[in-house]
Amino acid sequence: MADSTNQSQEIRDKAKEFVFPSAFTYYEEPLVIEKGQGATLIDADGREYLDFFGGILTVGVGHCHPEVVRRTAEQSAKLQHTSSLYLTEPYVHLAEKLAQITPGRLQKSFFTNSGSEANETAVLAARSHTGNHEVVALRSGYSGRTGVAMSLTGQAPWRMTGAGTMGGVVHLANPYCYRCPYEQTYPSCDLLCARDMEQVIQTSTSGKIAAFIAEPIQGVGGFIVPPKEYFQVAVEIVRKYGGIFISDEVQTGFGRTGGKMFGIEHFGVEPEVMTMAKTLGNGAPIGATVAVPEVADDMGGLTISTFGGNPVSTEAARATIDVIVSEELVHNSELAGAHMRTRLEELKERFPIIGDVRGMGLMQALELVWENKRPAPDAVNQVFEEARKRGLLLGKGGIHGNTIRITPPMNIDTADIDRAMDILKASLQQVKAA
């Protein structure tokens, strides 16, 4: 457990008294953060940490990037709010920019405040456009915390007690090769997990679907990377049954996967809708649903979002994208990601508890297991506390909580990656079987 002074403890005590306890925090003693710069966070007691989770893959260009800070501050001083009833320049120019950097015919945007709302909007658009209701999602997927988003989510722990699921969502087994749901091996499996889409639609829906929603790499699920042909096979079946494809890029967007701006671009499929949030605003609350024109145009009825497309958030997003492009972070994510991957593979050679290393670019994970692939969430917790003591912050994931997610800012350098990997190694050395 980390040392704590009165400053952090006072804030923790107040949180116990005044904050919903279901608001989940990491660590035995929750960390109280005061400042951030680049890849560094400083807690309320003045301790420094290398931030290798970035507020859940959000701080893509580093904490308080000067260009994002400057433009956000200037916009705050000029105009903070209008609602979506009026147009503003940052709002419309961000929509134009997204049309330019997204693949295929994606063109029109609707802005909200979060990834959950972006996914709600995407499902609404798919239902309006197709006239169909049912949506196929993936087991172990994560779509957010609104009613529809929790129903799309394929992980019981992230559905709140009593929330259950709303109708119209069915789940397909996920392309989790390390623990194949069909106990097959790629490629001799012939992509059974993708081909099962047809059976699922024929047996568990009304026979016509509105959409298939999936993350190119499952994020909260533990960075599960599908085989390269997966989306081509699955999406062809989806379209045969009237559905469109929604690519949830909330975690994988904006260069995180290395070499491509969006995760789905690695898989040779063009979605009709893309959802994004997190790195889009580098911490400013913003979600976007970007659609091909015919899907956007078919949204029936009236809709507003009071804060969606807020001038400060949209200017923060424009500044973030400008930084990603001008600092060539999509490329850096590939290079730095390859370096980090090599270091992680070396750790796997040394520590049998690392069952799998997976991910793309600067989105890498370690799945920790005991004998016979028995999930080791207890070991993840030990690594977490040890790494924190040594000044490194990581993320967790996986349906069993036994995956460590590692996602530094995309402008990270190899020296900081090496520092983090040394701390990770020292922390893994401390793991004891229960």
Distance of closest approach, residue 97 Cβ to ligand PLP, in angstroms: 20
Structure tokens at 413: 């350098």
- Residue 215 vs 386, nearer CB to ligand PLP: 215
Candidates 84-92, 161-169, 243-251, 418-426; binding stretch for ligand PLP (CB under 6 A): 243-251
Distance of closest approach, residue 383 Cβ to ligand PLP, in angstroms: 21
- Residue 248 vs 356, nearer CB to ligand PLP: 248
Residue 132 sits at the vertex; the CA angle it makes with 126 and 137, to the nearest 5 degrees, is 60
* Number of H-type helices and E-type strands within the chain: 13, 15
Q: Is 408 in the site for ligand PLP (CB under 6 A)?
A: no
Contacts of 40 (CB under 8 A, 6+ apart): 48, 49, 50, 51, 63
Q: Is 144 in the site for ligand PLP (CB under 6 A)?
A: yes
Query: Distance between CA 413 and CA 339 in Å, rounded?
Result: 10
Query: Distance between CA 406 and CA 86 in Å, rounded?
Result: 40
Query: Distance between CA 185 and CA 227 in Å, rounded?
Result: 11
Half-sphere exposure of 336 (CA within 13 A, CB side): 27
Distance of closest approach, residue 176 Cβ to ligand PLP, in angstroms: 16
Distance of closest approach, residue 287 Cβ to ligand PLP, in angstroms: 6
Distance of closest approach, residue 158 Cβ to ligand PLP, in angstroms: 9
User: Coil, strand or helix: which one is 249?
Assistant: coil
- Residue 219 vs 375, nearer CB to ligand PLP: 219
User: Coil, strand or helix: which one is 75?
Assistant: helix
Q: Is 251 in the site for ligand PLP (CB under 6 A)?
A: yes
Following CA atoms 172, 256, 178, 422 in sequence, which dihedral angle do they give, to the nearest 10 degrees? -150
Distance of closest approach, residue 220 Cβ to ligand PLP, in angstroms: 5
Q: Which of 154, 168, 216, 219 binds ligand PLP (CB under 6 A)?
A: 219
Distance of closest approach, residue 425 Cβ to ligand PLP, in angstroms: 28
Q: Which of 75, 84, 107, 116 binds ligand PLP (CB under 6 A)?
A: 116
Bridge pairing between strands 134-138 and 108-112: unpaired
With CA atoms as reference, report the closest residue to 404 among 350, 337, 370, 356: 356
Query: Distance between CA 194 and CA 182 in Å, rounded?
Result: 11
The interface with ligand PLP within residues 307-346 (CB under 6 A) comprises none
Q: Is 220 in the site for ligand PLP (CB under 6 A)?
A: yes
What letter would DSSP give residue 194?
H
Distance of closest approach, residue 226 Cβ to ligand PLP, in angstroms: 14
Distance of closest approach, residue 144 Cβ to ligand PLP, in angstroms: 3
Give the interface size with ligand PLP as a residue count (CB under 6 A): 16
Scored b (16 or more CB within 10 A) or e, 365-380 reads bbbbbbeeeebbeebb
Q: Which of 4, 8, 102, 119 binds ligand PLP (CB under 6 A)?
A: 119
Site string for ligand PLP, 39-58 (x = CB under 6 A): -----------------x--
- Residue 143 vs 402, nearer CB to ligand PLP: 143
Bridge pairing between strands 273-276 and 395-397: unpaired
Q: Is 288 in the site for ligand PLP (CB under 6 A)?
A: no
Q: Which of 277, 284, 340, 421 binds ligand PLP (CB under 6 A)?
A: 277
Distance of closest approach, residue 241 Cβ to ligand PLP, in angstroms: 24
Q: Is 110 in the site for ligand PLP (CB under 6 A)?
A: no
Candidates 115-123, 191-199, 353-361, 419-427; binding stretch for ligand PLP (CB under 6 A): 115-123
H or E element, residue 319: helix 311-326
Q: Is 142 in the site for ligand PLP (CB under 6 A)?
A: yes
Structure tokens at 15: 């949180």
CA 415 to centroid of chain Cα atoms: 25
With CA atoms as reference, report the closest residue to 337 among 100, 60, 145: 60
Contacts of 100 (CB under 8 A, 6+ apart): none
Q: Is 115 in the site for ligand PLP (CB under 6 A)?
A: yes
Instruction: Name the site residues for ligand PLP (rule: CB under 6 A).
Output: 56, 114-116, 119, 142-145, 215, 219-220, 248, 250-251, 277
